[in-house]
Amino acid sequence: MLIFKEVQLLPEIFLGISIIYLIIHGTLISINTKYLLIQNSVLYLSTLVVSMFCFLLINNVVEYNDFQTFNNTIVVDYLSFSSKVWIAIISIFCFLMSQPYISRQKINYFEYSILILFALLGIFFICSSNDLITAYLSIELQSLSFYIMAAMKKDSAFSIDAGLKYFILGAFSSSLFLFGASILYGASGTTNFEDLKNLFFSIYLDYDSVCVADNYTFVKHVFLDGSLIQFALVFILVSLLFKLAVAPFHLWSLDVYEGSPSSSTFFFAVVPKLAIFVLFIRIFYSSFFEHIIKWRYYIVVIAVLTIVVGSFGGLEQKKLKSLLAYSSIGHMGYTLIAFSAGTFEGMQILFCYLFLYMVAGLCIWSIFLILQLRHTYTKKQNKDLADLSLLSKSNSILALFFSTVLFSIAGLPPMIGFLVKIGIFLASIEASMYLVAIVSILCSVISTFYYIRIVKTMYFENSIVGKLYYPIKGNSSIVIVCLFYFLLFLFINPTLIYLASQKIILLLTMSMV
């Protein structure tokens, strides 16, 4: 039985062994730092590794059983399974769409793809974490890879600056998480989520006086200080909010997104958000549900502030990266509203929104990476909104696809984004947060302006000659078409993500009982 439980981590074990192989492979063939095929070789192998990881993951039988291994510090359940499958699929597309940009920018270091794999390994372990220490180590594995990826362009002062800022603020947020975990351990004597759930998750007893089942006897624990527990959870919450880049902890994301290589920003903005919310659920819903209900309105305040900052901050942006950064901030605010609703419907719409956010983010950043201007300054790294002028004339199909994605993520009817935003508004109303619903609806209308401004630039810009772009290569065109048809499929049949999210929450609720 022990061996069977360990086999449930076979995908992660395979990924770790593959990383070691790729390090050896890249070291043996990297005889010249200017050899352009080094990065492509490791990049395609990395894509194959993630595809094999996804195949092994799908063949694991975890639908109705929860497996805990490594002294109950890692759990394999349907929540972690579905999250890892979705992240792996999105990551495969990230690898495929990053290849043209990496070749153009001459990022020839084979370590770049390996760093992404290390970050993915950390993200997968975040999804399966069943202990605060495991979660902390997984976050650090992800973050250390991100710091180096942000500063990967050694000839760019902006990239070095972005990596340094990311490192300093990331280390600060990690220290907050570790400090909160140490306080929690001092107050309860454990860092395991399952043990913490047994101590604090009780719908009949107050958390200051918890009865814990020990075989056939009940032991009264009057030494558990609820105020100290809440103090520890505040530090953990702030640390995770830093990772999500929500207001007022969002300032680092603007400089990091702007200064990092676009392929790195692509990965920062799309992939890790789902894993952080899985950790949110494991800590605050599975282990400390009584506490989150008592002060969830503090999260609501942060969510509303995040939506306001994301909606108004993007209005004056001229750089496309900065606009997408504010867009990401605003969307994290909507997910926090769904998270703080504390209802089954709220959690279901949370996963629907996250799934759609990752697909839409993948589409937008893919278009950002494959567009290459014919005539531009050599040192210019990022695109202005003006660079999209009259894109409909030079590539009408790509402009149509870009507009469709923007309308969907803006929440305009009848796109799929409209349905999930309506779900968030209804979840907040069901939780009696009427003012929050009104503010979020108004901010959603305001944020629509800068999405429509991009469409206006592509179709109705007052210029005689638009920007000229290089033709899009065949591989990138195939991926873009696949993404467009998938988004169109979700528009026609949105029940796919609704049913998947409902199954996740149902099985999660069953495991909490």
**The 3-state secondary structure of 429-490, one letter per residue:** HHCCCHHHHHHHHHHHHHHHHHHHHHHHHHHHCCCCCCCCECCCCHHHHHHHHHHHHHHHHH
Q: What is the pLDDT of residue 227?
A: 78
Does residue 254 contact residue 325 with C-beta atoms inside 8 Å? yes
The stretches of 189-250 forming alpha helices (DSSP H) are 193-200, 226-244
Element (H, E) at 24: helix 10-29
- What lies within 8 Å, CB to CB, of 29 at 6+ separation is 35, 38, 41, 110
Instruction: Summarize the confidence of residues 66-90 as an average pLDDT.
Output: 86
Q: What is the pLDDT of residue 218?
A: 42
Confidence of residue 212 (pLDDT cuts 50, 70, 90): very low
Name the one residue in this structure whose structure tokens are 């494991």: 282
Confidence of residue 216 (pLDDT cuts 50, 70, 90): very low
Q: What is the pLDDT of residue 377?
A: 52
- What lies within 8 Å, CB to CB, of 442 at 6+ separation is none
Q: What is the pLDDT of residue 101?
A: 81
Between 484 and 182, the higher pLDDT residue? 182
Instruction: Summarize the confidence of residues 63-85 as an average pLDDT.
Output: 81
SS3 192: strand
Query: How many C-beta neighbours within 10 Å does residue 24 have?
Result: 10
Query: How many C-beta neighbours within 10 Å does residue 403 have?
Result: 18
SS3 73: coil
Angle at 292 between CA 291 and CA 294, to 5 degrees: 65
Between 226 and 258, the higher pLDDT residue? 258
Residue 208, pLDDT > 70, answer: no
Torsion of CA 39, 44, 49, 50, to 10 degrees: 100
Mean pLDDT of the chain: 82
Query: Could you give the percent of the chain with pLDDT greater than 90?
Result: 25
- Please tell me whether the peptide bond between 261 and the residue prior to it is cis, using omega within 30 degrees of 0: no
> DSSP code of 386?
G
Model confidence pLDDT, tens digit, residues 141-173: 999 999 998 888 877 788 888 889 899 999 999
Give the C-alpha separation, 70 to 67, whole Å.
10
Confidence of residue 67 (pLDDT cuts 50, 70, 90): confident
Angle at 109 between CA 106 and CA 111, to 5 degrees: 145
Structure tokens at 412: 């305009």
Most confident of 224-233, 308-317, 458-467: 308-317
Residue 17, pLDDT > 90, answer: yes
Residue in 343, 349, 503 with CA at minimum distance from that of residue 421 = 349
- What lies within 8 Å, CB to CB, of 154 at 6+ separation is 160
CA-to-CA separations, 216 to 209, 213, 219, in angstroms, rounded: 19, 7, 10
CA-to-CA separations, 291 to 114, 161, 234, 342, in angstroms, rounded: 40, 39, 11, 12
Model confidence pLDDT, tens digit, residues 372-415: 776 655 455 556 777 777 777 878 888 888 888 998 888 888 88
Does residue 246 contact residue 332 with C-beta atoms inside 8 Å? yes
Q: What is the pLDDT of residue 513?
A: 61
Between 172 and 344, the higher pLDDT residue? 172
Query: How many C-beta neighbours within 10 Å does residue 186 have?
Result: 11
Q: What is the pLDDT of residue 203?
A: 40
Task: Report the phi/psi class of residue 215: left, alpha or beta, with left for phi > 0 and alpha for psi in -120 to 50.
Answer: left
Torsion of CA 205, 206, 208, 210, to 10 degrees: 10
- What lies within 8 Å, CB to CB, of 210 at 6+ separation is 199, 200, 202, 221, 224
Q: What is the pLDDT of residue 65?
A: 62
Task: Report the phi/psi class of residue 70: left, alpha or beta, with left for phi > 0 and alpha for psi in -120 to 50.
Answer: left
SS3 191: coil
- Residues written for the chain: 513
Model confidence pLDDT, tens digit, residues 294-339: 678 788 899 999 999 999 988 888 888 888 889 999 999 999 999 9
Structure tokens at 435: 């003012």
SS3 86: helix
Residue 118, pLDDT > 50, answer: yes
Instruction: Summarize the confidence of residues 222-244 as an average pLDDT.
Output: 81
Least confident of 212-221, 234-243, 293-302: 212-221
Q: What is the pLDDT of residue 3?
A: 53
Residue 30, pLDDT > 60, answer: yes
- Please tell me whether the peptide bond between 414 and the residue prior to it is cis, using omega within 30 degrees of 0: yes
Give the C-alpha separation, 289 to 381, whole Å.
46
Amino acid letter, 224: L
CA-to-CA separations, 359 to 86, 161, 262, 353, in angstroms, rounded: 10, 29, 17, 10
Structure tokens at 176: 């907050």
Query: Could you give the percent of the chain with pLDDT greater than 70?
Result: 85
Give the C-alpha separation, 446 to 441, whole Å.
9
Between 63 and 195, the higher pLDDT residue? 195
